[in-house]
Structures are given as structure tokens and as C-alpha cells.
Amino acid sequence: MGVRTGRERGSSGLEYIGIALAVAALVAAVGVFLGPRLEPEVARAWCLVTGDSGSDCSGGGTGSAAAAGEDLPWFADPALTPEERATAGRYVGLGDSYSSGEGGSAYEPGTDEDNQWKKWWDQHGLWPGEVRQNMCHRSTAAYSQRVNADQGLTFKGFGFAACSGAVIDDFYRPNHENHNADSPNRQNEDEPAQLDSLTEDTSLVTFSIGGNDVGFADVLTECVKATAISFYDGISGAPPSSCADSDVAAEARGRIPDTAERLTQLLADARERAPGARIIVVGYPKFFPADPSGVSSMIQADDQRWINGGVEALNDALAEAVEDAGGPDAGFEFVDPRDAFAGCEIGTADSCMNGLRVGFGDDFDSGRPVSNGSFHPNDEGHRRIADLIADRIRNGG
């Protein structure tokens, strides 16, 4: 190869400048028709042609990761940390009683109005004035409240629409359209479809759902009845009854697959409402110790073990439903609290969960001797679940 002279080098430089001007003119002309979307490409073309080290040859004016993230949903933006993805917008807490804080401390005003009998009279035109019924029981100590206020996380807003007794249908229709007098908390007024709480500004959603859809409250009732029957059968020497063998238990097991399938669809529908959000499904904690010593809260030891197994089966199905929806790559995550109450289950000295709570309480209007707060996490239980969720928010799925 020959050695270039200084004149040749000068000519080469002029040629590059000419090419650069031609490319710039061409790209600018095309940009008239295609608009600002081509601006990064113009910068990249100038960079590559001129070798300008001050330009961003990746095509982004503020770095490739940030530029790429401009068109990505928050949950998928690689320029953000897991915590930043969750806190980029509003946090919304949805779900059933395990999310609302049923059985915890003080309920928000307007969510503890049990006027069932007055409501019946009002519906028949026999009660003067308006009567409101709402027992969503949104506790001020529920885990979503704690995630929002007590974990050092800063969101751009907070919404709380979880409601005791909720089923998957309550995400799609107003609560009062899905419940009647036989539901755990009957009809709750002024409760729109839970999905209505989600918007494009939502960056984090948490909820538990599925327990009421499979009928777990009915199973617990059956287990308490089995203990009572076993007591009387024991006098005559008959073998003890077990709720695990009941028709109610069989029906609950049979509903799990359909509930999981509906959860997968619910996640897809939630994504349409909140396209950028991390959506976290929260499972259910085990109620009893792994090796119970005897009857606790009117439930026999063998049935306690079976109930724990039922919780595990439901959690496994819910976790699989989250994966079927796309899992973390699609912004869907599952937090599994099944062992969160280890050492503080029902029957232990410092329980994280309420056992059977009997009594009409301050208001006889409900007409029910067993509190809805039975077999639900107490404030300490919600604190533990909040810790799990906060850890997931910071570290990702």
C-alpha cells in the first residue's frame, strides 16, 4: 500500500464533510414527513459520519437505557430499579378480607356500617329515612396501608378499595350486584367495581382473591361443626367426624382450578386498566401450626392439618395462574405468605391470626354470633405480610 500525502488526506477530509452534509440533508428532508421520531436517528447518523465523540451514537439523547425506557411500561423499564418501577405512580390496594384488614384494628369510616335488619325494613318501605349497608371493613392497619405509609416507600398517590367478602366478580361489577343476604358481609353499598380504581397512572397493585370464590368460609364453618359433632359422637363411642371428608370440602377443592383460570384472565384485564403497573397477587397464610397439639378454635388437630394443606393447594394454584398470565416478565408477581406466621399461628401464645371469635359485639343488628374477623390476620399478621411485600417491591420478583 502507498503512503498518502498531506494533500490526499485533505481531500479525504473534504469528501467526508461532503458525505456528512449530504446525509444530514437527506435525513432532514425525510424528517419533514416522519416527524420527531427520527430525531435520535439524525443524531446517530451525524455521530457515525463525523466521529463526534460528544454525540450519543446509541441514538438516545440521555443514554440508551433511559431512551429505550421512554416507550416501555414502568414494570419493564430496565432504566428503573424494581422500587422505582413500583413507585413511579399511584399504589392501589384491592382484594378480599385478607387485604381489607377484616379482623384488624379500627376500620375506615363508612366501611363498618352493619344495618342489615334496618335495611330489610327500609327495602320494604317500613323504615323512615335512608339506611346504608357497608361492611367492607377496610382497616387502618391493613398491609396495603402499611406498605403505603410505614415502609419508607414514596408513591404518587394511594387508593384502597379492598372489601371483606369480595370475589372475583367484584373486580368487574359493583359489589351490591354480586352479593345477597347470605354472603359473608351481605351487600356493600357505594362500592364500584374494583378494577375501576386502576388507571394509567397506577404503578403498583396488590390484592388477595380466591378464598371466597372457592368457599373457604363454608369449609371453616363445616370444620367447627365437625368438632361439635365429634364431641357428642365421642360420648357414644362413634369415630370423630372430619370436615375434610365433607361435601363442602369436596366442592371447595373442585372450585380451585376454575378460580385459578379466572385469576389469569383477571390479571390480563387489570393490565388493560394499568398498563405500566407491577401487579402483585398476595396468597394466604397457613392458619395453624404444622404439628397442632389438640383442638384449637373449635377445630380438631387433624382438620387443622387439612386446612393448612388446603391453603397450600390454593396458593399453588394462584401462583401457577400468575405464571400463566406471563409472570414477572409481564409485570405479574406472586407473594407467598404461607409460612409468614410460623410460630404465631392460631393457638400460639402471640398469634398473628384471630381464632374463632364469638359474640354479637356492640351492634346486635348483624344477628350473627360469630364475628367475620374470625380466622383472619390481626395487626401483627398484616405487619408481617407488609414486610414481605415491601421486600418484593425493592428486590423484584
Are 46 and 55 in contact by the 8 Å Cβ rule? The answer is yes
Alpha-carbon Rg for the chain in angstroms: 29
Burial of 297 (0-12, 13-18, 19+ CB in 10 A): buried
Residues 6+ apart with CB under 8 A from 384: 337, 340, 341, 352
105 noted as active-site residue: no
Which DSSP helix (H) or strand (E) runs through 281? strand 278-282
Q: What is the DSSP letter of 259?
A: H
DSSP characters for 132-149? --B----BTTSHHHHHHH
Burial of 28 (0-12, 13-18, 19+ CB in 10 A): exposed
Helices (H), the chain: 6-34, 39-50, 64-69, 82-87, 97-100, 116-123, 143-149, 211-214, 216-236, 247-273, 301-324, 379-395
The DSSP bridge partners found for residue 204 are 91, 278
Measured distance CA(47)–CA(56) in Å, rounded: 7
124 noted as active-site residue: no
Measured distance CA(175)–CA(132) in Å, rounded: 14
Per annotation, catalytic residue among 137, 179, 376, 382 = 376
DSSP characters for 40-92? HHHHHHHHHHH--TTS-TTS-TT-HHHHHHTTS-GGG-TTS-HHHHHHSSEEE
What are the backbone dihedrals phi and psi of residue 132, each rounded to the nearest 5 degrees, phi first? Answer: -110, 140
Nearest to 221 by CA among 43, 356, 62, 82: 356
Per annotation, catalytic residue among 64, 97, 105, 371 = 97
Active-site residues, by number, are 97, 376
